């Protein structure tokens, strides 16, 4: 068989929404010189989940790689900037901390900054570690500016993401994709055809009788997993015993105040509530565990916390946290919710979609689907989602709350061995386990550990090489420098107003500095 005849000529994406149109946009853009047709099947009769409107900095690089104009994208999706996530009532009721997209101080003599802060706390320093992080202070002051190009500048110690309307983002990417040759097919899939010998999917038949054939099928059908599960029976690994929340209710409401440059996650009696500020409205939701809270209680708690009048009827969702046992099975790749679900506590949903797309492109197969490709894809995606899973579990488990049955359960539950190892090591030594691969870097773990009162028993001995007075002087200097830098930053809404004049220097600097801050993209 010739190389040309073995090449994949047709890709069929089943399902639209954010996952489907991100996949279509990436494939048609990055394979623009490859002879492959892309068809996306979706039905207006099937709604999208639409709960994930907060993103991670990685989305900026995805958009850039597709050549998407950032000001145009932000206006089209009513986006605002995001410097991190504020967690309220997680360690104890009344507590609050921000998990930033950036650093806490900087290492000295290869010792991470938080060790110096820990020693200073023992010697009377009452400033929280967030006072030594520029994005934390900027978020709290409702200010925003683009990261600096100068790697030695404090303004190069952070990154940023977006709050966006996920439905409008899918609409934007649909127009982008169709302009470049993606074919959209309206309709519901009624049946799936498979090769009798290999089990590979060969076509899907729509309710109107039309048959759509393909060489490679991408399942973006959401929780139901129309291809990956209902057809191929791949299997699902459930994580409810570690992440017990299995319900959500979402309600958008009118905007009563200027949007903040951060997401808010407020712990409730049996879960947590999100608040996502957009230009035109505020996104709100309540993630909860049905074993400890009824739907009516969850809705009542959510409605009491709304800033303004609701725009729509409550949207109730049911889900099972976990992942498919394979996200690539035969000639079918699951992208998005069809491959697994982790609650949106750390805004990882769109990131995992993006990661799956880029790994698929990296391991794009021929018609025979070499298992070396699919096996490596499954290994990487499994590792990534499981490390996110452990980080989410940490938020629940590292708590001192004992005011409800739910918090008693998560505080006392057994956690995965790898997470237990990481927590034990930090508790004993203050050391954060580092990975070569994985989404969340050291400052992310530090933010949650210290923000939720999970304090280590000791700090790195090398810190004792500095006198207390000298160390405190340096800490005071850093705090003052951060305060001065934030003071001259524009207000968040002033930065958004620049969208009307995107050719100014701020935008040029932002475009040039994105890759300089890449290592700090999720912290």
Tokens 């104009």 found at: 69
Provide the 8-state DSSP code for 120. H
Alpha carbons 381 and 374: distance in angstroms, whole number: 10
Alpha carbons 72 and 168: distance in angstroms, whole number: 12
Half-sphere exposure of 8 (CA within 13 A, CB side): 24
Alpha carbons 471 and 125: distance in angstroms, whole number: 11
Alpha carbons 520 and 161: distance in angstroms, whole number: 12
Alpha carbons 487 and 137: distance in angstroms, whole number: 10
Alpha carbons 259 and 274: distance in angstroms, whole number: 14
Q: Which residues, including other chains, have CB under 8 Å from residue 362's CB and lie 6 or more apart?
A: none
Alpha carbons 114 and 24: distance in angstroms, whole number: 43
Alpha carbons 435 and 63: distance in angstroms, whole number: 26
Provide the 8-state DSSP code for 312. S
Phi, psi of 284 (to 5 degrees): -135, 150
Question: Catalytic one among 9, 32, 75, 82?
Answer: 82
Count the neighbouring beta carbons within 10 Å of the beta carbon of residue 473. 12
Sign of torsion over alpha carbons 347, 352, 354, 358: positive
Question: Does 32 participate in catalysis according to the annotation?
Answer: no
Alpha carbons 44 and 186: distance in angstroms, whole number: 7
State the Cα torsion 447-451-456-459 to the nearest 10°.
Answer: 60
Among 186, 223, 217, smallest CA distance to 201 is for: 217
Alpha carbons 403 and 171: distance in angstroms, whole number: 43
Count the neighbouring beta carbons within 10 Å of the beta carbon of residue 100. 29
440, two tokens: 């969340």
Strands 84-88 and 263-267: parallel
Q: Which residues, including other chains, have CB under 8 Å from residue 50's CB and lie 6 or more apart?
A: 17, 166, 167, 250, 315
242, two tokens: 């570690």
Q: Show which residues are catalytic.
A: 82
């Amino acid at each position: 068989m010739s190389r040309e005849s073995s090449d994949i000529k047709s890709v069929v994406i089943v399902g639209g929404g954010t996952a489907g149109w991100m996949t279509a946009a990436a494939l048609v853009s990055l394979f623009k010189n490859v002879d492959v047709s892309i068809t996306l099947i979706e039905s207006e009769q099937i709604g999208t989940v639409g709960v994930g409107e907060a993103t991670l900095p990685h989305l900026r690089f995805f958009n850039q790689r597709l050549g998407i104009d950032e000001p145009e994208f932000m206006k089209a999706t009513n986006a605002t900037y995001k410097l991190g996530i504020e967690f309220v009532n997680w360690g104890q009721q009344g507590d609050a901390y921000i998990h930033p997209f950036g650093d806490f101080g900087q290492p000295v003599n290869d010792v991470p900054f938080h060790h110096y802060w820990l020693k200073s706390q023992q010697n009377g320093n009452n400033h929280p570690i967030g006072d030594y992080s520029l994005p934390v202070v900027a978020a709290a002051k409702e200010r925003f500016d683009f990261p600096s190009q100068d790697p030695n500048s404090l303004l190069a110690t952070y990154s940023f993401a977006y709050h966006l309307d996920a439905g409008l983002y899918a609409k934007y990417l649909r127009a982008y994709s169709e302009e470049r040759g993606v074919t959209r097919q309206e309709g519901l899939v009624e049946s799936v055809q498979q090769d009798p010998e290999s089990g590979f999917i060969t076509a899907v038949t729509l309710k109107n009788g039309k048959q759509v054939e393909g060489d490679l099928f991408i399942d973006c059908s959401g929780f139901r997993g129309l291809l990956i599960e209902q057809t191929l029976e791949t299997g699902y690994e459930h994580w409810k015993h570690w992440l017990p929340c299995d319900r959500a209710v979402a309600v958008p409401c009118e905007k009563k105040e200027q949007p903040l440059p951060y997401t808010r996650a407020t712990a409730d009696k049996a879960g947590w509530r999100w608040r996502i500020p957009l230009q035109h409205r505020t996104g709100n939701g309540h993630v909860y565990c049905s074993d400890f809270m009824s739907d009516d209680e969850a809705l009542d708690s959510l409605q009491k916390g709304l800033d303004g009048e609701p725009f729509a009827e409550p949207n109730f969702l049911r889900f099972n946290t976990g992942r498919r046992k394979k996200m690539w099975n035969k000639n079918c790749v699951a992208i998005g919710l069809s491959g697994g679900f982790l609650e949106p506590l750390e805004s990882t949903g769109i990131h995992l979609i993006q990661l799956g797309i880029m790994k698929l492109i990296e391991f794009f197969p021929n018609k025979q689907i070499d298992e070396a490709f699919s096996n490596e894809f499954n290994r990487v995606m499994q590792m990534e989602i499981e490390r996110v899973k452990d980080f989410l579990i940490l938020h629940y488990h590292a708590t001192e709350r004992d005011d409800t049955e739910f918090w008693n359960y998560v505080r006392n539950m057994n956690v995965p061995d790898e997470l237990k190892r990481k927590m034990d090591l930090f508790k004993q030594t203050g050391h954060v386990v580092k990975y070569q691969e994985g989404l969340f870097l050291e400052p992310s773990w530090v933010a949650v550990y210290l923000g939720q009162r999970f304090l280590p028993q000791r700090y790195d001995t090398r810190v004792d090489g500095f006198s207390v007075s000298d160390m405190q002087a340096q800490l005071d200097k850093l705090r003052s420098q951060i305060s001065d830098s934030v003071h001259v930053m524009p207000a968040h809404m002033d930065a958004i107003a620049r969208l009307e004049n995107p050719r100014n220097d701020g935008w040029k600097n932002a475009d040039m500095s994105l890759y300089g801050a890449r290592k700090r993209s999720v912290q």
